[in-house]
A and B are shown apart, each in its own frame.
Chain A
């Protein structure tokens, strides 16, 4: 079992829909990252969280440390949001390296 689990694995939405991607982890962490990988492969860091909530444009990320759970929300989704979204944690015991979830493939149709 992975230490970082994401759901769903695949998600298809219509343009304009509100989207939620979930991430659960089973280890102590010092930070959690949400990453975006577009077709063509580059990885972009969207958020780094250690508590609470962060917002950037139409993207919102929340984390509940007690429940070991984080969510990434996309409001008013758009086809350009289609990408793989990856949750990654910095474990308390593993220095600065990241441990990754398997990613969620999001497809937003026009």
Chain B
């Protein structure tokens, strides 16, 4: 039973295409995140949703549009992909915004734009 599952694991696509990455958690957590890990392995927050509501949009280009149909899902849609979007994208969840609880990460989606 995977707690936070992301699909696909690998995504190779051409510049200019539109793609989506899906994330689902079965932990009953209220808060979900998208993090980006660059080529130097540095992780940075992109978005945070709490109970389907956007909480954080960390100056991410508006080509990136997260969508949360319910609190168990947080999908990431990327329009007009650019070479610089190549990275590993991690979905994560935590219990809620305030509790100092643990984080659970998905296994990551390696996006390669060619």
Residues of A within 8 A of B (CB): 30-31, 33, 35, 37, 41-45, 48, 50, 84, 86, 88, 90, 95-100, 102-103
Contact = CB atoms under 8 A, between A and B. Distances in A.
Given A33-B103, A43-B90, A103-B41, A97 B108 contact: no
Interface in B40-55: 40-45, 48, 55
B100 to A, nearest CB: 4
Interface residues of B, number: 29
A96 B94 contact: yes
B45 A102 contact: no
A40 to B, nearest CB: 9
Given A41-B88, A41-B107, A95-B56, A50 B100 contact: yes
Contacts, number: 61
B110 A41 contact: yes
Interface in B1-51: 31, 33, 35, 40-45, 48
27 contacts: A33-B102, A35-B103, A35-B105, A37-B41, A41-B88, A41-B108, A42-B105, A42-B107, A42-B108, A43-B105, A44-B105, A45-B102, A48-B102, A48-B103, A50-B100, A86-B43, A88-B43, A90-B100, A96-B98, A96-B99, A97-B33, A97-B45, A97-B48, A98-B43, A98-B103, A99-B45, A100-B42
